[in-house]
Amino acid sequence: MKIAQIAPLWERVPPSTYGGIELVVSHLTDELVRRGHDVTLFASGDSQTLARLQATHPRALRLDPNIKEGMMYEMLQASEVYQQAEEFDIIHSHVGMWSLALANMVSTPTVHTLHGAFTNDSSKVFTLHRTQPYISISDAQRKADLNYVSTVYNGIKIQDYPFVAEPKEPPYLAFLGRFSPEKGPQHAIAIAKQAGWRLKMAGKVDVVDVKFFEKEIAPLIDGKQIEYLGEVDHAAKVELLANASITLFPITWREPFGLVMIESMATGTPVIGINMGSVPEVIAHGKTGFVCQTYEEMADMIPAALELNRQTCREYVENRFTVTQMVDGYEAVYEQILKDRTQKNGLIHALKTSLESLSFVKL
């Protein structure tokens, strides 16, 4: 198949530090190439891929201090993709609303993976284009009335996450994610303090979250019980998760997947999360972690989580959340969409032929 993959421009593919969507797109794109597909990746120019790279901008927008209006580059990217639409069998969009209107204007089908949660405003836009094919990354994500063709869970390269049988001493809790209210770092700190545990935290602070970080988080970082590691690369991320006793996932929003959970469990570290969004689909309650109703309960479940089998956590990810399984799911979607398109075109052709033949019948 000739496949176009459209990645967000804010981070490179794969991301040098934080970037869940871009990591997923990287794994998907490279594995499709390995399986013999002809893939073009539309992404920032600093991206690294086995596919043919077409760049709208030479580097990730977030890393370019000269970028003031990122929206312009996103619109330009979408325009470039759809001007070449006839060159592809299928277009796979990971950029949300930017591709919706243009997808209706070409004959090449576009399938959209939804990587975020719906707001009232975004739901209205998607609903206008509800008949286009959509892939959810969890069943919990399916809140808008759209043409969902499949749920495909995110996957990771299991070999990139070495298994650690015993957590590091002295023991600590881990938090990894953006330092924003919806990711719940403030709750992670409260949980650690309630339970009397050390907490190591890592992640980026976006411009929009600087005030939140400075007011709600920074004053609580003492470098002893609460330690902030900054924005870490893959190696440091894996070290943080693998050596932890438990990873906390105290989100405050309907997270559509949460890559951190499977990254942690892959290293053997169980996860305690709050019962929102995809958390019950990703954590095997009582086996690879616990799904809690309150943040106070998360703290209470720490002793039980310490008794969980770390090898079970690893095997759970191996059996459910690998790149192989993810790409199998996406390939099946592509094939079904192209099959449906062929059948539809065949019916249209047959109907057209029948109408033309009727025009020769004399009444």
* 2-155+324-352 against 158-320: fold identical: yes
Evaluate if residue 163 carries a pLDDT over 90.
Answer: yes
Reported as type and span, the H/E element at residue 24 is: helix 20-34
> What is the pLDDT averaged over residues 141-161?
95
**Comparing 350 with 322, which gets the higher pLDDT?**
322
Confidence at residue 363, expressed as pLDDT on a 0 to 100 scale: 47
The predicted-structure confidence for 179-227, as pLDDT tens digits, reads as follows 999 999 999 999 999 999 999 999 999 989 999 999 999 999 999 999 9
Indicate the pLDDT class of residue 359, thresholds 50, 70 and 90: low
The number of beta carbons lying within 10 Å of the beta carbon of residue 231 is: 15
* Pairwise pLDDT comparison (72 vs 108), residue with the higher score: 108
Please count the helices (runs of H) and the strands (runs of E) in the chain.
Answer: 13, 13
CB 322 within 8 A of CB 155: yes
- The Cα–Cα gap between 147 and 144 comes to 9
Q: Where are the domains of the chain?
A: 2-155+324-352, 158-320
pLDDT category of residue 117 using cuts at 50, 70 and 90: confident
| CATH number for region 158-320 | 3.40.50.2000
Site of tokens 């004959």: 107
Please report the pLDDT score of residue 212 as a whole number.
97
Region 130-141 average pLDDT: 96
Fold held by 2-155+324-352: Rossmann fold (3.40.50)
134 and 150 Cβ atoms separated by less than 8 Å:
no
Contact 145, 251 (CB under 8 A): no
Q: How many CB atoms lie within 10 A of CB 5?
A: 26
pLDDT grade for 260, boundaries at 50, 70 and 90: very high
